[in-house]
């Protein structure tokens, strides 16, 4: 069998990928794209827009095959991959763009060792893929044997057509997840928003902090984040706080609270304006609009309070306009 290069690997890979694909049984043919799509940024939206448009005009389903974990975690295990979006958020954003189904697949060693032809055969058989659409820098499969040069012939031999979509180019230039991560890490959430096509946000659960803010008359919600996700540089931000009960303006501080701490734990604390309910243990999503300033150490509590008043005033002014 020409497909099976190393039966030891492939039988296991088949199990893992088949298990993930077995939950989806499209009732008609589909046009599919493949990728991590971390952040679902403007470049991704350009590709997904094309996918949905083509699927609609052909009367087939638009599907996305994405990865539960970033392939880099397997391909380069020493590299720490900080993500922009968790899987649930990615799926939500993709479906918002009109995608009919999203198939999350675990990327493991077996999958990494699978030749692209065999991987695509699974998509042809299980997801009824009859067209594959990818971006201009796409490569897949063991030794990256599935490229823009080789995929048309692979498609022809299996029974699907292939298209590579050009990069989206506009005033922003080429949009890459790496550029967005760097902007966020530097605190430039305004630039990140331009590249994403929406404001960057983080989600978590409201935990019990040390309640110093409450003592100062600024009760804050402490956001507990899952590890593995990027969040903005230390500083003060104007943000929207989204709770199940509604959305509120929030002056948000990220950092080690230099006036109080010895600098061990970084915290995200949001002071919700015009709000006083108890929201412990509730899910909270913070949407960052603008960085107001970096973190500062204040010599007196009075100086800190004066600055906090100013942060709240600026937050209200910025968010009233947007």
Domain residue spans in the chain? 7-164, 177-320
What does the pLDDT look like over 163-202, one tens digit per residue?
Answer: 999 877 666 567 888 899 999 999 999 999 999 999 999 9
Q: Does the domain at residues 177-320 carry the CATH identifier 2.70.98.40?
A: no
pLDDT above 80 for 52: yes
Fold of 7-164: Rossmann fold (3.40.50)
pLDDT computed for residue 88 by the predictor: 92
Q: What is the pTM of this model?
A: 0.83
What does the pLDDT look like over 112-149, one tens digit per residue?
Answer: 999 999 999 999 999 999 999 999 889 998 888 999 99
What does the pLDDT look like over 153-165, one tens digit per residue?
Answer: 999 999 999 999 9
Beta bridge partners of 83: 229
Beta bridge partners of 240: 249, 287
pLDDT computed for residue 17 by the predictor: 87
Q: How many residues does the chain have?
A: 322
d(CA 284, CA 301): 28
Region of 263 please: left (phi>0), alpha (psi -120 to 50) or beta. Answer: left
């Amino acid at each position: 069998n020409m497909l099976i290069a190393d039966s030891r690997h492939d039988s296991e890979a088949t199990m893992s990928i088949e298990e993930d694909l077995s939950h989806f049984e499209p009732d008609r043919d589909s046009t599919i794209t493949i990728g991590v799509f971390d952040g679902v940024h403007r470049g991704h939206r350009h590709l997904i827009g094309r996918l949905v448009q083509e699927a609609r005009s052909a009367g087939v389903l638009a599907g996305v095959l994405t990865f539960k974990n970033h392939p880099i975690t397997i391909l380069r295990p020493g590299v720490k991959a900080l993500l922009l979006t968790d899987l649930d958020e990615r799926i939500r954003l993709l479906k918002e763009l009109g995608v009919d189904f999203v198939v999350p697949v675990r990327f493991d060693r077996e999958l990494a060792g699978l030749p692209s032809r065999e991987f695509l055969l699974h998509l042809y058989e299980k997801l009824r893929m009859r067209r594959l659409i990818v971006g201009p820098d796409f490569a897949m499969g063991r030794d990256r044997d599935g490229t823009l040069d080789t995929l048309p012939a692979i498609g022809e031999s299996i029974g699907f057509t292939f298209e590579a979509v050009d990069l989206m180019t506009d005033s922003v230039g080429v949009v890459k997840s790496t550029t967005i991560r760097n902007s966020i890490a530097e605190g430039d959430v305004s630039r990140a928003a331009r590249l994403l096509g929406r404001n960057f946000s983080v989600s978590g659960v409201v935990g019990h902090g040390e309640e110093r803010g409450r003592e100062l008359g600024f009760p804050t919600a402490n956001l507990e984040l899952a590890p593995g996700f990027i969040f903005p540089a230390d500083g003060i931000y104007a943000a929207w706080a989204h709770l199940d009960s509604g959305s509120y303006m929030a002056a948000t501080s990220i950092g080690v609270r230099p006036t109080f701490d010895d600098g061990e734990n970084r915290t995200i604390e949001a002071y919700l304006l015009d709000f006083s309910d108890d929201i412990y243990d509730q899910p909270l999503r913070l949407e960052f609009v603008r960085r107001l300033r970096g973190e500062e150490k204040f010599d007196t509590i009075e100086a800190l309070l004066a600055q906090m008043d100013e942060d709240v005033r600026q937050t209200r002014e910025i968010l009233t306009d947007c």
